[in-house]
Amino acid sequence: MVERHKEIARYISQKVVNEKDYTAIEEYLTDNYVYHGLGGFIAKTPQGFMEAIKGFHSAIPDLQSEIIDIVGEGDRLVIRFNFTGTHKGDFLGFPASGAKLKFEGIIMRRFENEKVAEDWDYFDFPTVVAQIQSH
């Protein structure tokens, strides 16, 4: 089952983050999905998660993710990413800076019946802020 979860995680990352194809959200997130983001942000539906991702894409239109590691056990995966992109819109309270961003992030993902039920998302916010402010 862990290997299937890894396949799903790779698919979601490629389609949603890299290709801006949001259909994988409807296909692979449970109806009662919960997203825990930075600063206490919580989305309690797949639609809420989609809006959060669209916000990232609005701020960083060329956002790309690369999976570095995936570790899984039982119904959980931990995925470590590299992200790159150009800061071209409001992002976490910062207006567009044109800064080239490169940062890491980690998601812990819980599955139910081969669908994502819950995500805990963390990324290297201090590095993003430093790159924006130094531009």
The full set of domains in the chain, from first to last, is 2-133 (3.10.450.50)
Q: Which of 7-11, 38-42, 86-90 has the lowest mean pLDDT?
A: 38-42
Does this model's pTM top 0.85? My answer is: yes
Query: How confident is the model over 82-131, as pLDDT tens digits?
Result: 999 999 999 988 999 999 999 999 999 999 999 999 999 999 999 999 99
Q: Residue written as tokens 């470590």?
A: 80
**Nearest-10 Cα torsion for 97, 94, 129, 66:** -70
Position 39 scores a pLDDT of: 80
State the chain's mean pLDDT as an integer: 96
DSSP string, 81-106: EEEEEE--S-BTTB-----EEEEEEE
Position 40 scores a pLDDT of: 87
Position 92 scores a pLDDT of: 83
